[in-house]
Amino acid sequence: MKVQVTLTVAEAKALIAEAIAGMSEVQTALQTGRILLKGGTTVAAVAQRLANIDLRLSGRISPRGTKASGGVSAMAHSVLLEGGQIRNIDNDFSQAVVSLRRHDVAVIGANAIDYAGRAAMLLGRPLGGSPGLGIAGLMAQGCRLVIACGLEKLIPGTIDEAIKAGGIFSADWSMGMATGLTPLTGHLITEKRALEMIAAVHCTVIACGGIAGAEGGTTLVLEGEKTEISAAIDAILAVKGAKTTGCPASLVECTSRQEGCAVHQSCAWRTCKGEMLTWHVK
């Protein structure tokens, strides 16, 4: 049997979260180990699915560029799930990483993936702020590392090329904070892979993008036995209409003269109070 489906970006995130929640390693870690969730919109969907909590969103890409949060929220950006408890690890992310062992799971997002399945995360503060200090150690810790990332993040070049092009201190002018990339290595789960995990189907992406809310969306063809196709469609229909996840207050993006302006580099919005950008390089 063959069917065609379309997922918006938000729906893909919810589907990825469902697939991650169903992983045997994740279920085991929920019962007897630890799960580290490093904030981001896709990981926020995972947090909702696993612990019914909202995560505070930090950096984001909007029509105004690479921006930070301008909203005030007491919610955690990153958490550690252990023994049924939820611990805010924003101030001790590195220490939480140190506590992870081989049967534990860490879930992080990415801002870029390439055709080879490599991934990378944008950093807008020197050393990546508090989480950035623990990212390298996270990949070396030996736990199960899951990279939750939709196909809207697929870049036409390679991760190596992207890393060379970016850089926090290499831009003379930037729409939002200038950023660099750090490579990530783990088990990459996109919406294509998520569907193949949820049901025994073969997925082929046949188109990307759209209009009226499907910008960045993915159109896929699913092939498999009728019962498996039915299971996949049920999972898709369950997430239809999904919205961007994360603490609502943190969805508000930063404006000029906020705290982050002291560390964010080359931001053209820093002194223009939100009005139309003008080209000016000091």
Distance CA 247, CA 155 (A): 28
Token pair of 12, please? 């893909």
The pLDDT tens digits of the residues spanning 81-137 come to: 999 999 999 999 999 999 999 999 999 999 999 999 999 999 998 887 778 778 889
3-class SS shares of the chain: helix, strand, coil, % to 5: 35, 25, 40
Tell if the pTM clears 0.85, that is, is over it: yes
pLDDT of residue 278: 66
- Pair of tokens at residue 37: 């969730």
What phi, psi does 188 have (nearest 5°)?
-80, 125
What pLDDT score does 251 carry? 83
Q: Where are the domains positioned within the chain? A: 17-189+243-253
- Structure tokens that stand for 204 in this block: 């082929």
pLDDT computed for residue 99 by the predictor: 96
- So what's the pLDDT on residue 266? 85
pLDDT < 70 positions in the chain: 257, 259-260, 271-282
DSSP state of 54: P
Angle at CA 261, nearest 5°, toward 148 and 40? 10
